[in-house]
């Protein structure tokens, strides 16, 4: 499963996996507590494959940022918590992505990225990062 099936829903904690489509939206299952929710087209939804992080030179896809965290942590949970202080989060993110744009990437964004990485890691979904890359490589050939 790729990141195109994983969502963040505004106003709801954590990440959700698309289960099935309905006429008015779709059913998604929480990665935190496995509860299913009905999501309409009126909800503010972000698909992880469409999210990018601002750097000083470009917008880096979230997949690449998560891969950098995975490499730094050797596939293990992060050494910090998403509940750590703003300074701790920014220092950690600077180690992962030294050229991130500090004016446009807020501590709340870093907090979400750390939390999302840990959720994906906990549910053995980090392989989705490699999966997407293989699909892109196949399409380019």
- Statement: residue 132 has pLDDT above 80: no
3-48 and 51-140, same CATH topology: no
C-beta separation of 31 from 17 below 8 A: yes
Tens digit of each residue's pLDDT (9 = 90 or more) over 28-42: 999 999 999 999 888
Task: Give buried/exposed letters for 33-63 (b at 16+ CB in 10 A, else e).
Answer: eeeeeebeeebebeebbebebbbeeeebbbb
Domain range 3-48, its CATH number among 2.60.40.420, 2.40.50.140, 2.30.30.730, 3.30.1600.10: 2.30.30.730
d(CA 124, CA 96): 21
Handedness of CA 84, 85, 86, 87 (dihedral sign): negative
C-beta separation of 14 from 31 below 8 A: yes
Q: What CATH number does the domain located at 51-140 have?
A: 1.10.10.1650
d(CA 113, CA 61): 12
In the chain, where are the structural domains located? 3-48, 51-140
pTM for this predicted structure: 0.85
């Amino acid at each position: 499963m790729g990141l195109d099936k994983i969502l963040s829903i505004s106003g709801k904690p954590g990440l959700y996996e698309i289960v099935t489509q309905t006429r008015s939206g779709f059913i998604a299952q929480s990665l935190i507590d496995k509860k299913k929710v009905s999501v309409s087209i009126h909800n503010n939804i972000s698909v992880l494959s469409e999210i990018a992080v601002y750097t000083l030179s470009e917008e880096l896809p979230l997949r690449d940022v998560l891969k950098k965290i995975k490499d730094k942590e050797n596939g293990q949970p992060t050494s910090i918590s998403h509940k750590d202080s703003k300074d701790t989060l920014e220092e950690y993110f600077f180690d992962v992505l030294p050229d991130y744009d500090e004016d446009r990437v807020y501590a709340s964004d870093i907090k979400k990225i750390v939390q999302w990485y840990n959720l994906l890691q906990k549910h053995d979904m980090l392989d989705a990062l490699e999966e997407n890359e293989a699909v892109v490589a196949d399409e380019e050939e």
